[in-house]
Amino acid sequence: MTRRYLQMDVFADRPGAGNPLAVIPDAEGLDDDAMQAIARWTRLPETTFVFAPTRPGASYRVRMFSPRREVPFAGHPSIGTAHVVLEAGLAAPVDGLLWQEGAAGVLPLAVDGEGPQRTISVRTPRASVVEVADADDPRLAQLLAGLAAGGPDAAVLPPALVDGGRRWWLAELADERTLRGADPDWDAIEALAHATGSMGLCAFARAEAGNGDYDLVVRAFVGATARFEDAASGAANATLAAWLAHNDALPGAGGRYVVSQGREVGYDARLQLRVDGDGEVWSGGRICNVLSGRIDWR
């Protein structure tokens, strides 16, 4: 049996700029082993599989797999899957919202506009602060010293471990140039991830004036399960947005701002973050179709 198979770039306005995703929109009949095998075969950060919903009010059900394991929630797979659901006519927004059923529950996705200019944002799970640390914390000191975090004239937030479905250490660097030129200690990142049950380190800096169409620069260094720098992470950025809101330190205006991520690893993504009046975080952006075909998986 052949099934539809689509690939796209999420948080992108052109091919190659965003975070790649594979989606199989008609996954009925695939078991856990088959889905994991397909995700391993695609070698993409995540592959998603769409099913009919089982919970009241849900527009569709999704399961997400990295090449190594099933993922309970991630931002760019949620947004890309919603895009495919709309393109395939599997569901339509009601009052501007789709409702995605998954391991993290039934989450709303806001749909704004149509066609290539359309943006989709997922309301991410509520984040909680696990701990706030000092820069000289022995678990962090070597890593942050290597990244040149902070500075004598920089008013930066302290490092924090925040859980937003996935745990991330968040650390603000002194400026955009420092962050973009940072060369992380991967041994220290992996040790930190395993010692604290986290994904790794999400480092961020305020954008330099006149540098582009964004307010914040983010680099997400993953140390758990594999070592890599994420091209564009909706979940990590949502966790960061919650931390910034907690400290009344959001950039941009009206609870909205734009993130630049991925340039250092060959991408150039733009993520749109919003913290609404209820303190909920919405993470989203545009989606660019790249490949459409069929997969023959027996």
pTM of the model: 0.93
Question: pLDDT for 221-279, tens place per residue?
Answer: 999 888 999 999 999 999 999 999 999 999 999 999 999 999 999 999 999 999 999 99
Spatial distance between the Cα atoms of 262 and 136, rounded to a whole number of angstroms: 28
As a whole-number percent, the residues of the chain with pLDDT over 90 amount to 89
Say yes or no to pLDDT of 182 above 60.
yes
Look-up of token digits 């090449």: 67
Question: pLDDT for 90-120, tens place per residue?
Answer: 999 999 999 999 999 999 999 999 988 999 9
Spatial distance between the Cα atoms of 164 and 20, rounded to a whole number of angstroms: 22
Question: pLDDT for 7-63, tens place per residue?
Answer: 999 999 999 999 999 999 999 999 999 999 999 999 999 999 999 999 999 999 999
Spatial distance between the Cα atoms of 232 and 235, rounded to a whole number of angstroms: 9
| 286 CA to centre of own chain | 13
How long, in residues, is the chain? 298
Beta carbons of 147 and 117 less than 8 angstroms apart: no
As a whole-number percent, the residues of the chain with pLDDT over 70 amount to 98
> Which backbone phi and psi does 271 adopt, to 5 degrees?
-110, 135
Beta carbons of 234 and 199 less than 8 angstroms apart: no
